[in-house]
Structure formats: C-alpha cells, structure tokens
Amino acid sequence: MGTLRIASSFKNVHAIMHAPLGDDYFNVMRSMLERERDFTPMTTSIVDRHVLARGSQEKVVENILCKDKQEQPDLIILTPTCTSSILQEDLQNFVNRALLTSNSNILLADVNHYRINELQAADRTLQQIIQFYLNKLAFHSIQKTSKPSVNIIGIFTLGFHHQHDCRELKRLLYDLDINVNLILPEGLQVQQIQHIPNAWLNIVPYREVGLMTANYLEQKFQMPFIDISPIGLIETSNFIQKLFSYLPYTSKIQNYINEQTQFIVQSAWFARSIDCQNLTGKKAIVFGDATHAIAFTKILVREMGIQVLCAGTYCIHDADWFREQIEGFCDEILITEDHTKVANMITRLEPSAIFGTQMERHIGKRLNIPCGVISAPIHIQNFPLGYRPFVGFEGTNQIADLIYNSFTLGMEDHLLEIFGGHDIQQVITKSLSPKSNIIWDENSLLELHKIPGFVRNRIKRNTEQYAQQNNINKITIEVMYAAKESLATYNIIL
Amino acid sequence: MNAQLNFECETGNYHTFCPISCVAWLYQKIQDSFFLVIGTKTCGYFLQNALGVMIFAEPRYAMAELEESDISAQLNDYKELKRLCLQIQQNRNPSVIIWIGTCTTEIIKMDLEGMAPKLEMELQIPIVVARANGLDYAFTQGEDTVLAALVHRCTQQTHSDQNKLVLFGSISNTVANQLTLELQKQNIHVDGWLPSQNYNDLPNLGSNVYVCAVNPFLSRTATTLMRRRKCKLIGAPFPIGPDGTKQWIEKICEAFHQKPQNLIQREQQIWNQLKQYCDLLHNKSVFFMGDNLLEISLARFLIRCGMIVNEIGIPYLDKRFQASELKLLKQTCEFMQSPLPRIVEKPDNYNQIQRIHEFQPDLVITGMGLANPLESRHINTKWSVEFTFAQIHGFINARDILELVTRPLRRNEKISKFEI
C-alpha cells in the first residue's frame, strides 16, 4: 500500500501489483478519498489458480510490456503483496526480462509485507526510486541554486492534509525568501530527480516518510536536513530557527517569528484569552502516527495548558524515538497496533476529549467523548475541500479551532445532561402528531422497529395515512408494503 | 431477429471487491454467527476500508492475522486457531463460527477443512469453513462459498410425499418477508430460507425439496444442493425487476402445479408505477463494466425499461445456472426490438475504458475505483456495489433499482444549470 501511494504520487509512474483479484482496492481509496479525477496508475497482474499451479511465467512480463505500450510511463514499479510474497517467485527475474524490450525503467519494490507496515514501505520505496535514478548519474560538481532553496520530502497521495500542509510550507518559505527546489514525490517527474542535489538542504515535515531519503541524500551529497515537524507555534519557531542556522544570513528572523506569533496568527492570543482558561487542566488523550501524536501532545501541554493523560502511537517501529520525545509531557505512554487496547485505555481514563484517528473517533462516539481527528487512518471527511493545513502559522489556527471545538462540544453535552437533555423538543413534536385510533399488530410493529430511526417516523406516518384513506384499522405487514407501493405511484420524481 | 447472444472472454484484468467482503452482509443476516477471516494485513486493511463504519460497531467478525511465523510454520496453526476460537466463544458465545479462508491460507495450504471438525469436537461449537479467496472468486461469489458450506449443515428432511420449497440467497429479512407474502398469494408456502436468520433454523433438505435461488451468483450453492442433498432446482430468472419477479413466481408455481393468479395484472400495475422512470430512461444507453454478477438480470430489466445496453461485463457466467435469465434477456431484446448486447466475461478494464470512449454511453455502472475518473471525463456513472447492498428483489423494490439507475441522470439535470 505504501509503495502504491508513493508510485501514484509521481507523474507518469505506473505500479503493477502481483496480487490476487480484489487486492487492488487501493484505486478505490485514491479515487474516493482524494476524489481523484484521473485513473489510478496501477494495474494488477492477477494471481489465480493457474499461477499457483504453474507460476506466473510470461504473465507478469506481458503485463509490464503491455502497460509500457499502452501508457508509456517513465517508470514501472512491480510490487509484491502478502500473497505473492509467499509464492517466492523470482520477480526480479521478470523485471530483468521485461527490461530487455521495454522503453520504461522498471523497478521491483523492495518491501516485505510481513516485516514492515504501510508507512515504512512508503519510506523505503521513495528512497529506492530516488537512489535508483541518482546512482545512474555521475555527479562531478553540483550546481547549487544561487538563492537558498530546499526540497520538501514526504508529501504524497492519501497523506493526512498533505496538500494543505505543502501549500502552507511553501508560503512560509516564500515569506522567508527561500525557494522550493523540488517537492518529493507529489507531482514529481523522474527526470527531475537529477536536480535534487541542487537544493541547499532538505525538509522532512513528517517523520514517517522521507527520513530514509533524507539520510541517503545526506550521505551521498552531504545535504543537511531538518526533521522538525513545524506543527504548533513552538515547533514552527524551532523549525524556522533551525532553517536559518543553515543559511548564511539570519537577518530579521526573530522579528519575523515575533510578528507572526503576536500579530498575524490568532492562536497565540487565543491561548491567552479567557475562553482558553476554561481548558486549563482539562484531560485529554492523544493517539496517532508518531509525528502528529507528538506534535499534538506538545501543543496541548505547552501551548494550551491541557493535561494529557496518555499519548500513544501505532508506529511501533519508531517506539524508542516516540518515548524520548514525549517523556515528561504525559502521564502514560501507549504504543500498540491493537485498537482494542486503545479503546480499553480510553474507557479506563475517561478523558474529556480524544485526539486520535478515525478509530478513536468511533470509540469516542460509543463512550460519548468528543474526538478531534489528527492522524491517519482517516475517512473522506478528512480530505476537506477548504484550506486546512496542520503545519506552519495557519496550521496553528486550524489546530486551535479543532482543539477548542472538541472541548466546547463536550461542555455543551454536559450542560444538556444537567438540564435534562433534549426532551423539550419531544414535547413540541408530540403535540404536532395527529391523533389516530389505528392499531399496529405485533409483526408490523417489529417490522417498523427494523427501519432505521431517522426514517421510521415518516414511514409510520405514511402508513397510517394510507390506512386511514383505505379505512383500515389494523396495520399488518401487508398493509405496510401496500402503503410503500402506493406511495410510489404518486411520488413525483424530478 | 434470430441472432444469438454474443459471449466473449477477456484478460480478467478488472477491478472488483475481494470475496471476503461477503462477511459484511452475512454477519448481519445470520444473527448468531461469528465470522473469522484467516488472512493477512492486506485482507484486514481491505475489510477496514470497504466496510467503513461498520467495523467500529463491535461487529461479529474478526481477522486472524497471519504473521511470518505462521507462514513459515513455526507456530502451530491448530493451536493458534483454537486459542482464537476459544476467545470468541467466551466473549461472544455465537451459535456458529465461520472460518473464511483467503488467498494466503490457500497458498500455504492450511488445512482448514481438516482442522475444523477436530476443533468443533473439542470446543463443542459448529465451525463452518468457506474458501472465499481472490484466487478463485469475485465479490458476491463469496456469499456463494459460504452458503454452499452451510448446505452441509442443514438437517435431513424426513421423507414425506409433500413437496417443500426452500429459497436460497441472503437478502434482508424485509425483502424475504415480501417475497414470502408474494408467494403466499399464489398459495405457495415457503418452508425455509438458506441462510436463515439464526444458524439453528437452517432449513431441512432432502429429495422432496424444491429449491430456487434469488440471486444470480449462487451457482455453487445450487450445485451443492442438487448433488449433495438431492434437492430439485427450479431454474428461473431472478426476482429482480417486475418482469423477473413475475417469471420467477411463474416458474415456482409451475413446479408446484399451481395456476398463477392475478400475476399479469400485478406486473402491469408495477410497470404503471414505474412509468415516469421509464420515460426518463427511454433510449438511453448503459454500459456494465462488471463486478458483482448481478449484471445480466439488471441489464435485462433495464432493456425492458427501454434502455439500450452496450455491454454487459461480468466476472463469471455460469450459463447453466443462469440459463433462464439468459433466455429472458434474449426474449426481452426481441420484444423491445433492442440490439443484443455483447456479454464480456472476465473483462479487461483498460479495454473497456477504450470502448466506453467509443460508445459514449449515457450511464456506466462501475466500481468505485473508476467512477470519479469517468465522471471527470463527463461520463455518468453509478456505483455497482450499491446494487449489492440495496433492496432490489421482488415487485415492490423494482422502483428502488430505477431510483438508483436514474439518480445520476436526475442529478445532472438539476445541476446542469450551474455548469460553467
């Protein structure tokens, strides 16, 4: 999955999965979640019974060559799946054979499905592609750009608010008079890879994907990189200061930060305002990928005075770093891939708000605790159309809103509970419903209760209306169905 | 017009859901069951995404995620499964545990069928094994494998002279009630459903039992019912659309020597109700890319509504099981003087997209992965999965099908005013 996300982020790169039928749901995610207008550049070389019996033989090679002709991509990435890993076919051999006749470059993704997760696979694949192209070239002297410039590494398909973050980063760099050399891998063409070393340094906004590439570039070209995620006021300032430590001039940087925090951005003032006082000492729980969980914990604690009972991540491969970063900011640390453990922890600690993934949002729903979504895995509503960055100064505004709104909703709920909930509304609707002496028999009542709550009343009303019109006193299942049918006749479409 | 239906077969490079998705609706249908999918991260990831919100509502299904140590046989399959099933038994106390075998269990040749009876004895809970994997099956065929496995668990009908009727196919209880009532009007009593709402209410089967399907993707189940339980299969078109429903009831009546009553009027009455929709669909063309095996029945119904079908893509076509449906399709084309559509088995999505550009159909019925890209090329689409999850069977629900089919057309008529 990670491999596919990287491959589909590049321009004119095609991925071929060696997988059984139905494993290609990645294209559903991309076209649904990102509302992508183009066909996902991905095909499956299908593993079926015949492949099990005789091996893929010519099939994979044919599929590669066919794609080569149909779409003329610059690069084709062949990727194994859980299923095909076990088959232990020599996929590299297929790649080598296809290379003989293909016009595209072909790579075999070096990922093992049983050892690494999606983010690790993405990290690895990105590095693999960059390395593949840079190793082909001989660099004698590197022409650095005359003006300071950076590469942004790790913006890609299906990333959590990546598009907005990327735009905000560009804006920030523009303010600081720094050019963006390249963005990796979103929208990148493989021909541009040779220009990567021209940048002065690299920026890795998310720890999960991009570090391997940044490390490789540091080794090979002595390019320094910054791995501070500029999420929250303090971290954004740290990020800017670090950025300037690599540049020959430090000009008015402190002024810039002060100006932004004190006058432009609302979040710094917001944290001081009386509204936010009410948040002091409120209890929260944070869970997500390492980058966002750490950033949010620090914001909640340092910038808003909220107590974090527990911070956690599902990035178990990065557990040590997570612990190191979060030490002292929260009471407990939870590192797990098991969402029932997270649910148990939330149930036990009873926070007033949760900041987590969609999983945590649903746990919150069940327990009646508000939840702000801060990290993947995510649903379609986390691909907003409006501008919603998490990084930089505008990001701090968005985050302040998110945090504050989560808590207010919680307060509202409690107040409602104290004053007896919403039953005032019930009184109103009761007086509106018509009196009727129609009886529902047992079976029809059962049937009625199977109908989802939000339409049940309407169907009840329609059925009773139908019964009245036809002089029926007792409603049976047959009457219900007949009512539905008759409704169809006079229901006007268009 | 004496042309024959045209069958083609392509490369099978098409998009569909993995058959393990059948747990999504089956666990809700069989209320005292628990589904255990034995597979890898990929399977879990798929279920989590495909079933969206449902996985958070404490569903009665779970993944047994295979790890490297399972694959390399360092762990004992039997012990691992026993541990999991024991846990399920203690926490949920289901009446049956259904193991769903996946691609991985196929490849490492995990002997699920061998282990299940042993574990069943040890834990004293029925364990049913269904191999719903992407190597052999597509999407809805998953249900077929589960139902075929359940056939073996049905009790034996003690011999009696009276013929019984058992219907098979998983549909919501409401729709099942509707079809039962519809048959009752013809004095035909439905003696059981496969699957039933509870595992313990599975129908009795035997040589005096007539069986009839409600869904076109149940060929394996049909074969199992005939060969293993000696049931008599009523070959009929499927009760999708008023035309299909009428013929379905007729065929059942025929088997039970009943003369259908008021059936023609009933069908006509429904068509009258659908007139507005049909007017909208008249002479519009539709292209089925194919992913859930409902395609033939839906195409037949839409042709009867006045549409022109360019192509019926379908993952797999059992010509014997679907014989009546194919015959009705041909008759419908002749009746409506509509050209016979080409039927493409195991289609190739890439080629299909070329053909879609050529035909410029008014509507493409396709999977989610291709819908947005097609819409952005100004081609109307409807998600095919909606037909799997909506109530589409019987007279009453014909309207719901057309509601789905016309939605993109109606939507476009409404928003076209705002187009720049």
Q: What angle do CA A471, A476, A480 make, to 5 degrees?
A: 80
Instruction: Note whether residue A296 is domain-resident.
Output: yes
Domain boundaries, chain B: 19-137, 164-256, 263-417
Shared domain check, A311 and A446? no
Structure-block tokens of residue A197? 């070393």
pLDDT of residue A490: 46
Residues A393-404 as b/e (b if ≥16 CB within 10 A, e otherwise) read bbbbbbbbebbb
- How many Å lie between the alpha carbon of B1 and the closest alpha carbon of chain A? 35
Contact B18 A70 (CB under 8 A): no
Eight-class DSSP state of A184 = E
Active site residue A275: yes
Q: How far apart are the first and last CA of chain B?
A: 45
pLDDT of residue B381: 92
Instruction: Count structural domains, chain A.
Output: 4
Chain B residues with CB under 8 Å of A32 CB are 368-369, 372
| Alpha helices for B23-140 (secondary structure H) | 23-29, 41-50, 68-71, 77-92, 103-107, 112-123
- Axis-axis angle for helices A290-298, A233-245 (nearest 10): 110
Chain B residues with CB under 8 Å of A48 CB are 12, 135-136
- Domain range B263-417, CATH class: alpha beta
In this structure, are residues A83 and A46 in contact, taking their beta carbons and an 8 Å threshold?
no
Eight-class DSSP state of A302 = I
> Is it true that the peptide bond before A377 is cis, omega within 30 degrees of 0?
yes
Shared domain check, A287 and A167? no
- How many Å lie between the alpha carbon of A29 and the closest alpha carbon of chain B? 7
Contact A488 B273 (CB under 8 A): yes
Q: How many CB atoms lie within 10 A of CB A252?
A: 10
Partners of residue A179 on adjacent β-strands:
A149
Place of tokens 């007086």: A431
ipTM: 0.75
Shared domain check, A278 and A358? yes
Out of A25, A39, A113, whose CB is closest to B373? A39
Contact B174 A450 (CB under 8 A): yes
Shared domain check, A275 and A396? yes
pLDDT of residue B135: 86
Contact B368 A488 (CB under 8 A): no
Shared domain check, A61 and A93? yes
Eight-class DSSP state of B157 = P
pLDDT of residue A432: 44
A110 has a chain B CB within 8 A of its CB: no
Q: Residues B236-264: pLDDT tens digits?
A: 999 999 999 999 999 999 999 999 999 99
Q: How many CB atoms lie within 10 A of CB A374?
A: 29
Instruction: Note whether residue A85 is domain-resident.
Output: yes
Mutation target for A interface from B135, B273, B385: give the one with most A CBs within 10 A. B135
Shared domain check, A216 and A101? no
Eight-class DSSP state of A222 = -
pLDDT of residue A297: 95
Query: Annotation-wise, does A359 bind a ligand?
Result: no
pLDDT of residue A244: 86
CATH code (residue A389): 3.40.50.1980
pLDDT of residue B156: 86
Shared domain check, A379 and A276? yes
pLDDT of residue A494: 37
A120 has a chain B CB within 8 A of its CB: no
* Domain span at A366: 268-417
Question: Residue B335, SS3?
Answer: helix
Partners of residue A353 on adjacent β-strands:
A284
Shared domain check, A381 and A460? no
Instruction: Note whether residue A423 is domain-resident.
Output: no
List chain A residues with pLDDT less than 70: 249-252, 408-414, 416-417, 419-436, 453-454, 487-494
Instruction: Note whether residue A62 is domain-resident.
Output: yes
Provide the CATH number for the domain formed by B164-256 in this structure: 3.40.50.1980
Query: Annotation-wise, does B278 bind a ligand?
Result: no
pLDDT of chain B, 420 residues: tens digit per residue: 457 888 999 988 888 888 888 988 898 899 999 999 998 888 887 887 766 655 555 678 888 888 777 777 777 888 889 999 999 999 889 999 999 998 888 888 889 999 999 999 999 999 999 999 888 899 999 999 999 999 999 988 777 778 899 999 999 888 999 999 999 999 999 999 999 999 999 999 999 999 999 999 999 999 999 999 999 999 999 999 999 999 999 999 999 999 999 999 999 999 999 999 999 999 999 999 998 999 999 999 999 999 999 999 999 999 999 999 999 999 999 999 999 999 999 999 999 999 999 999 999 999 888 888 998 898 999 988 889 888 999 999 999 999 999 988 888 777 765 554
Q: Residues B399-410: pLDDT tens digits?
A: 999 999 998 888
- Note the Cα B204 to chain centre separation in Å: 23
Query: Annotation-wise, does B18 bind a ligand?
Result: yes
Contact A86 B108 (CB under 8 A): yes
Which residues 473-492 of A are in CB contact (within 8 Å) with B? 477-478, 481, 484-485, 488-489, 492
> Is it true that the peptide bond before B126 is cis, omega within 30 degrees of 0?
no
Instruction: Note whether residue A126 is domain-resident.
Output: no
Q: For the residues of B287-318, what is the DSSP string, one character each?
A: EE--SSS-HHHHHHHHHHTT-EEEEEEES---
What is the spatial distance between Cα B365 and Cα B362, in angstroms, rounded to a whole number? Answer: 10
What is the spatial distance between Cα B37 and Cα B98, in angstroms, rounded to a whole number? Answer: 8
Shared domain check, A393 and A462? no
Question: Does an H or E element contain A99, and which?
Answer: helix A91-101
A86 has a chain B CB within 8 A of its CB: yes
Shared domain check, A334 and A468? no
- A-B contacts at Cβ under 8 angstroms: 153
- How many Å lie between the alpha carbon of B372 and the closest alpha carbon of chain A? 6
- How many Å lie between the alpha carbon of B161 and the closest alpha carbon of chain A? 31
Shared domain check, A392 and A305? yes
Contact B68 A114 (CB under 8 A): yes
Instruction: Note whether residue A260 is domain-resident.
Output: no
Instruction: Note whether residue A323 is domain-resident.
Output: yes
CATH code (residue A451): 1.10.8.550
Partners of residue A355 on adjacent β-strands:
A286, A372
Contact A488 B370 (CB under 8 A): no
Shared domain check, A158 and A86? no
Structure-block tokens of residue B195? 């699957």
Of the residues A227, A254, A289, the one at which a domain ends? A227
Place of tokens 């091996």: A55
- The correct CATH number of B19-137 out of 3.40.718.10, 3.40.50.1980, 3.40.50.720, 3.30.1330.20 is 3.40.50.1980
Give the CB-side neighbour count of residue B278, counting CA atoms within 13 A.
16
Out of B53, B67, B103, whose CB is closest to A83? B103
- How many Å lie between the alpha carbon of B17 and the closest alpha carbon of chain A? 5
pLDDT of residue B225: 95
